[in-house]
Amino acid sequence: MIENLDLGMVNWARAQFALTAMYHWLFVPLTLGITWIIAFFHTIYVKTGSEEWKRLTKFWMKLFGINFAIGVATGIIMEFEFGTNWSNYSWMVGDIFGAPLAIEGIFAFFLEATFFAVMFFGWNRVSKGFHLFSTWMVAVGSNLSAVWILVANAWMQYPVGQAFNPDTARFEMQNFAEVAFSPYAVNKFTHATSSSMLMAAFFIISISSWYLLRGRHILMAKRSIVVAACVGLLASVFTIFNGDESAYEVAQVQPMKLAAFEGLYEGQKNAGLVALGWINPEKKVYDTQEPFIGFNLHIPGLLSLMANRSFGSFVPGMKDLVYGNAEHNILGAVQKMERGKKAVVSLDAYKQAKKAGDSAAADVHLAAFNTNKEFLGYGYLGKPEEAVPPVAMSFNAFHVMVILGSLFPLIFFGYLYFSYKGSLLEKKWLLGLGTITYILGMIASQAGWIVAEVGRQPWSIQDLLPVTVARTNLTAGTVQTTFFMFLGLFTLLLIAEICIMVKQVNIGPEEN
């Protein structure tokens, strides 16, 4: 199956997917979040009939439109990249993974696409009420699309509601409700959308703060800030809360990911959460190097609490998960690989027997396969250490996200407090910090996706299908070529986007 394995191709395909996903995510959070805030502004305008609120609504709408185009352009690539770069994956799980994508298209994208045009161009064409309704529908549509794509992503991390069919060698859906309402999906959705609200709030705060520093559009900027800071404060607290839920979920279904992003090599009871520390990027799971370079600070028990909701509980480390730990009844990748290899052998024997028409032998092999099938994916790993994701990257991304994420509620609170006191204009330091909050938010958000996606390597489907099998049969050179094509085009368009955005911000809202 993977005789002619070309790791170079797999890594280029991963790089290309990461590139597309990260560029896509530069634009998506703003779309998910700001549409709600724009709908809120629009509602105030319709209620009050105030021209000032109309100007404000139109201004944020215009910036949203610039951002939206390139979000759509990068999005279509992602949908088809599953087929182009991961075609074996697409065939093996298309039954399950395709459904949410199709549902997203039918119910979410059409909502977005239909009402997007009304929202932008409906000012004098449709009634005020219907226009407002359309603005809300764009918000609903874009967030609905997030539901379905995150259902799909969550399924890869925690593959529920499916069974492997040995006759077709595919994973087939058994229970749609389990896939759609998987607890992992619920957490993914709440975490991604609440953090997107936070990002949208930062976007508004960044631009409004800049206006205040320049002494321009004071009224509009202040109004925007109050709304954005309220939304942002709630969203940032909620994001921390459901982030904690996500970590608990990861600990339960992807313990290796948790161990990697905490740099936990040796399992521990009363395990501590790293508050400060520089991870040793050279360390391997089998060597005796120190996991951290120099000083590091752990908060005792906190990791156990996060992972198992109990201070004293045992959190398995990467060594336990690779080599096993009998005391705590943990199977390691070593043991799982043994059983996985058996599953692969039985599966092949089953296929041969079926081909030969020997149904008695086929039954025997199938029974043998069934005892080991949950470890099938491990049968395709080369060595047990491959089960460990890139530790340093996961660790750094996780801690950047957590540190920034803990800071965010304070920033929103500061804005609200000084707005309430009426002294926001004098707090130049806060306004200065405010102008870069969007960039900070983006760093935290991208880091979050690195944790989620790098942390689950080598699996495209957790424990069942490694990326080396999921690939398309392409040469590294081909994927490399398209990688640079996309990199060049996306970067060019990003630069154009930023320039246009800066110019539009500079122009500001339309004057009466």
Partner 1 sequence: MIEQLDYRTLQHLWWLLCSVVGALFLFLTFVQGGQSLLWQVAKTQTEKDLVINSLGRKWEMTFTTLVLFGGALFASFPKFYSTSFGGAYWVWILILFTFILQPVGYEYRKKQWNILGSLVYEGFLFINGAIGILLIGAAVGTFYTGSNFQLNDSGFVTWMHPFRGLEAALSPSISSIFNIALGLFLVFNSRTLGAMYLVNNLELGEVPEMEARLRKASWQNLVLSLPFCLLIVGSLLFMRGYGIVDAQGTIEIVSFKYLRNLLAQPWLLGLLVAGLALLIFGVWKTAKSKETGGIWYGGLGTVLIGLTVLLLPAYNNTAFYPSKVDLQSSLTIFNASSSPYTLKVMTYVALGIPFVLAYVAYVWWLMNRGKMKIEDTGDRAAY
Quick check: 28 and 70 in contact, CB under 8 A? no
Residues of this chain, 328-357, that bind partner 1 according to CB under 8 A: 351
Geometric angle at alpha carbon 152, from 148 and 157, rounded to 5°: 140
Q: The tokens of 501 are what?
A: 């955005």
CB of 52 to partner 1, least distance (A): 16
363 binds partner 1 (CB under 8 A): no
Site for partner 1 contains 115 (CB under 8 A): yes
Site residues (CB under 8 A) for partner 1, limited to 450-479: 472-474, 478
Does the protein bind partner 1 through residue 66 (CB under 8 A)? yes
> Interface with partner 1 includes 508 (CB under 8 A)?
no
Q: Does 61 bind partner 1 (CB under 8 A)?
A: yes
- How many residues of this chain interact with partner 1, rule: CB under 8 A? 88
Nearer to partner 1, 287 or 511 (CB): 511
The yes or no reply on residue 245 touching partner 1 (CB under 8 A) is no
3-class secondary-structure state, position 295 = strand
Which contiguous run of DSSP H or E holds residue 185?
A: helix 183-214
How many H helices and E strands in the chain? 18, 8
Instruction: List the one residue from 50, 128, 169, 358 that touches partner 1 (CB under 8 A).
Output: 169
Rounded to the nearest 10 degrees, how much is the dihedral formed by the CA atoms of 184, 375, 337, 292?
A: 10
Q: 60 in the Ramachandran plot: left (φ > 0), alpha (ψ -120 to 50) or beta?
A: alpha
Q: Is 68 an interacting residue with respect to partner 1 (CB under 8 A)?
A: yes
Binding flag, residue 358, partner 1 (CB under 8 A): no
176 to 96, 180, 320: CA distances (angstroms): 8, 6, 34
- Shorter beta-carbon distance to partner 1: residue 74 or 182: 74
Which H, E and C letters describe 495-506, residue by residue?
Answer: HHHHHHHHHHHH
62 CB-contact burial (10 Å; exposed 0-12 / middle 13-18 / buried 19+): middle
Q: Is 299 in the site for partner 1 (CB under 8 A)?
A: no
| CB nearer partner 1, residue 114 or residue 335 | 114
Distance CA 57, CA 131 (A): 12
Structure-token match 């908060």, residue found = 299
Candidate ranges 99-107, 211-219, 356-364, 368-376; the one touching partner 1 (CB under 8 A)? 99-107
69: contact with partner 1 by CB under 8 A = yes
Q: How far is the CB of 393 from partner 1 (least distance, A)?
A: 27
Residue 379 tokens read as 């049968």
> 416 or 467, CB closer to partner 1?
467
Rounded least distance, CB 244 to partner 1, Å: 33
Under the binding rule (CB under 8 A), the answer on residue 117 touching partner 1 is yes
113 binding partner 1? (CB under 8 A): yes
Positions 421 through 440 that interact with partner 1 (CB under 8 A): none
CB of 73 to partner 1, least distance (A): 4
CA gap 204, 29 in Å, rounded: 13
- Could you say which of 6, 15, 22, 87 contacts partner 1 (CB under 8 A)? 87
Q: What DSSP string runs through 416-478?
A: HHHHHHT-GGG-HHHHHHHHTHHHHHHHHHHHHHHHHHHTTTTEEETTTEEHHHHS-S--HHH
Does 97 help bind partner 1 (rule: CB under 8 A)? yes
Q: Tokens in use for 236?
A: 């940032």
Pairing of strands 465-466, 273-279: unpaired
Site for partner 1 in 21-60 (CB under 8 A): 58
Which residue has 């996306």 as its token pair? 490
Residue 512: CB minimum distance to partner 1, A: 13
Both structure tokens of 170? 């595919």
| Member of 47, 51, 102, 312 binding partner 1 (CB under 8 A) | 102
Residue in 39, 63, 70, 416 binding partner 1, rule: CB under 8 A: 70
> How would you class 155 by CB atoms within 10 Å of its CB: exposed for 0-12, middle for 13-18, buried for 19 or more?
buried
Binding of residue 503 to partner 1 (CB under 8 A): yes
CB of 453 to partner 1, least distance (A): 20
Residue 86 engages partner 1 in binding (rule: CB under 8 A): yes
- Compute the distance between CA of residue 262 and CA of residue 271 in angstroms, rounded to an integer: 10
Q: Using CB under 8 A, which of 94, 183, 390, 508 touches partner 1?
A: 94
Residues 172-191 that bind partner 1 (CB under 8 A): 172-174, 176
Measured from the CB atom, the residue of 18 and 240 that comes closer to partner 1 is 18
Minimum distance from residue 43 beta carbon to partner 1 (Å):
19
| Window 129-148: contact mask with partner 1 (x via CB under 8 A) | -x---x--------------
Of 162 and 194, nearer to partner 1 (C-beta) is 162
Question: In angstroms, rounded to a whole number, what is the distance separating the alpha carbons of residues 205 and 427?
Answer: 14
Q: Which residues touch 31 (CB under 8 Å, ≥6 apart)?
A: 64, 67, 68, 71, 142, 196
